[in-house]
Structure formats: structure tokens, C-alpha cells
Structure 1
């Protein structure tokens, strides 16, 4: 990785951490809060691509692991990786990689704006929503023992907000693509 890549990954790690300043919203029927940080994960994927976006999330997870309170609500530390949110946190890494990979495949600088937005939205939806939620549900169901149907039904409350976050990430990805394209292009 070049110095530029490291700086960009660190910048997006900082964006994910800054989105943690938005207080979490607890729903009561599931032990996982609604946070704004998943938007940062989607942004890292659509703007930076798979490699740099995944590295940005890895930096955030490293900060969490060493105990810094960088998650929404001031959470951090190794115990976070044994909490009900662990599947979603680990899912962030894979979500950023899948979102970035799909963005690199679906979006090209020569496409029209609406096609780019649609490509970014689909990438953020598949990576940032489907992948992250799948890992979160699996951990809730089997790691925390809530059962698959209970975990799935509880997770449904997050879908509308995360679809909106994917749309925001798509528009942001398009704006960056127009002004200062950072997404690696595949040939």
C-alpha cells in the first residue's frame, strides 16, 4: 500500500469513528443498537474500493480491540467482540470489502451519473446491508443463542435505515467520483 492509500484509509477510519459520536438508538427487543457507523463502512467501500475500504474498517476494529471508545455510545475493548454486536462489527470488515469490490466492478468513470448511483447503491446494498446483516444475524443466533428466527426478526428493524444509508453512500460515491475519483478502476 502506498502512503496515499494509508492516508485515505486512515481518513475513512476517522469518518467511521466520527459517526460513532451520533448516540446509539436502543430498540429494546434486540440487544443491538441502531448506529450511524455502518454508513461510514459503506462510504469506505464505495469511495475507496475493496482493499483500502477494508483496511479503513480494520483500523477501526483495531482501535476497538485496544480499548479506545470509538464505537457509538463510547464502547470499545475486547469485550465488545463477545457482545451481541460482535457479528455486525466483524461484518463491517467483510461489508467494506464486498461493497468496494462490487463498486469497482459496477461503476466506471465513463458511465452516466444515474448508472453510477445505481451501481454504488447496489454495491452498498449487497455489501453493507446483506453481508453485514447476515454475519450479525448468524452471530446473534448461534453465538448468543437467540435462535435464527428471533435474530432474523429482530434484524428486520435495521433494514429501512440501512437501505437509506446505502442510498446516501451511493450519492456520496457519485459526488466523489465526479470531483475527485478515488475508486480503483478495473480493466
Structure 2
């Protein structure tokens, strides 16, 4: 009876879907173990967890990727210390990183929309563009709202300060692209 429930969970998820979703939720959690890199001019550190969000978006797609990030954020809101630096609890959604956390939830959907504009093309340049536009740019735009509101920094100054994250974000995008190109035929 339980396997029948999981086989067609709500009419949209199979056991494989549930497994992959849980796997990527766990991956995002594990990436939180890596310590944050503080940047003096910003109240937001450089983290590796958004790499997990990018991977979930590309490998799982918009629906399962969003669900994976949603589960992660619910666990964080419940107080589990799964964010980089061992942070957790509902209060993190009111701090300087709040905009980025909210953006993470939307990244799989936006990446999926951008990919659809390219006709779901798996060409490297289409995947790269969808990760930059739907992932990094989207996170920076939404994340800057949180920085601006919490830190009383003008929005465009907060947005332009994201330039310090660009080298690391480009590395994450390239790694996501490489991993996605290698595993897409197996999933």
C-alpha cells in the first residue's frame, strides 16, 4: 500500500522523483558544511550552497528542483542548522541573506523558463545562458532586495556589490554545466 502511494504521489511524482528530490535536498544540506567566506563590504558571505540549487534546477528540472529547494528551506525554517555556518531558524528569513534564500526557491523555475526560451536546448551555450540569467542574475536581483532592506543600503548599490560574487558564481555555473552535460543522459 505504501509503495503504491509513493509510486504515484499526488499524480506527479514517482519513487524515482521522490528519491532524486531527497538526494538534491541532501546535497544542498551537505554543501552547507563548507564554511562561508566573509566579504568585508557586504553583510552576505560567499557560500557554496547555491551550487546545489543550480544543480537541482538543471538536473531535476523546474518542478522537482523547486520542491527540493522548498524542502530544504522548510527544514531551515524549522530551526535545523543547514545553512552555511550552521545557521537555521525562521529568523534567517529576515536577515541580510533573506533575499537570496527566497531567490533560491525561484531559481529552478526561472532557469526552467529561460531554458524553454531556448527550446529546451541542451547546447552548452543555452545551458550556460539559462544558468547565468535564471540562476545567478535572478539570485543577485532578488538577493539585493534583502540586503537593501536589512542593511539600509540603496538597492542599486546592493545590486552592484554583487560583482564581488561573480568570479565564484562563474565557477559554480561552469561546474554545473560540466556535471549536467555528463549526467543528463543517465537520468
Deviation at 1:105, TM superposition (A): 5.6
Count of residue correspondences: 175
Q: Does the CA-based 8 Å contact 1:26-1:34 persist in structure 2?
A: yes
145-154 vs 16-25, which deviates more? 145-154
Q: In structure 2, what is the equivalent of residue 142 of structure 1?
A: 149
Deviations 1:116-149 (A, max 9, x none): 2222211111121011110001221234421123
Q: CA deviation at 1:166?
A: 1.0
Corresponding residue for residue 70 of structure 1? 82
By how many angstroms is 1:100 displaced?
3.2
2:178 to 165, 171, 178: 171
| 1:79 has 2:86 as partner | no
In the alignment, structure 1 segments of 5+ residues that lack a partner are 182-187
Matched with 2:137 is 130
Structure 1 residues 16-25 or 118-127, which shifts more?
A: 118-127
Partner of 1:36: 48
Contact 1:49 1:103 in 2 (8 A): no
Q: CA deviation at 1:107?
A: 6.9
- Contact 2:95–2:146, Cα closer than 8 Å, also in 1: no
CA distance in structure 2 between the aligned counterparts of 1:103 and 1:149, rounded to whole angstroms: 27
- Greater Rg by CA: 2
Whether the aligned pair in 1 keeps the contact of 2:43 and 2:147 (CA below 8 Å) is: no
Unaligned runs of 5+ in 2: 1-11
Output the aligned Cα RMSD: 1.7
- Per the normalisation by structure 1, the TM-score is 0.86
Alpha-carbon distance in 2 for matches of 1:152, 1:133: 7
Higher RCO (C-alpha under 8 Å, 6+ residues apart): 1
Match among 101, 112, 117 for residue 124 of structure 2? 117
Give the structure-2-normalised TM-score: 0.86
